[in-house]
Amino acid sequence: DVKVTQSSRYLVKRTGEKVFLECVQDMDHENMFWYRQDPGLGLRLIYFSYDVKMKEKGDIPEGYSVSREKKERFSLILESASTNQTSMYLCASSYRGQGQYFGPGTRLTVT
């Protein structure tokens, strides 16, 4: 079974802090994704990566950056957390277009 793990299930940070969300997959998938999920808005793509050190902006990249130094690991960085970044963050990986496998999510609260 594909396993996608995220470093934290729940996280509370203060406004202005730098926040790192880590995601690791164990199936050698080339594609990895970061989404945020908010009630009524569904899933919105922040960034995705199709290879090591490669990244593409999604629909809502503002205020976020990403890093992919190794194939299995994709990090989402909030440079200066703000309260409007309070959300559920979901990481996913995929092999080509054959469906995505999601991690359990990180619920981030910024106070």
Verify binding: residue 53, another protein, rule CB under 8 A: no
Does residue 47 bind another protein (CB under 8 A)? Answer: no
End-to-end CA distance of the chain: 37
What's the rounded Cα separation, in Å, for the pair 76 and 40?
23
Determine, following the binding rule CB under 8 A, whether residue 103 of this chain makes contact with another protein: yes
Strands 10-13 and 106-110: parallel
Which residue number, 22 or 95, has a Cβ lying nearer to another protein?
Answer: 95
Residue from 19, 24, 25, 31 binding another protein (CB under 8 A)? 31
**Among residues 47, 64, 74, 101, the one that binds another protein under rule CB under 8 A:** 101
DSSP tally for the chain: helices H, then strands E? 0, 11
Decide whether 53 or 96 has the Cβ nearer to another protein: 96
Of the pair 16, 37, the CB lying nearest another protein is at 37
Q: How far is CA 55 from CA 10, 22, 37, 95, in A?
A: 26, 15, 20, 16
Q: What are the φ and ψ backbone dihedral angles of 54, each rounded to 5 degrees?
A: -105, 140
Under the criterion CB under 8 A, does residue 85 sit at the interface with another protein? no
Residues that bind another protein in the complex, under the rule CB under 8 A? 4, 31, 33, 40-43, 45, 48, 50, 56, 90, 92, 94-105, 107
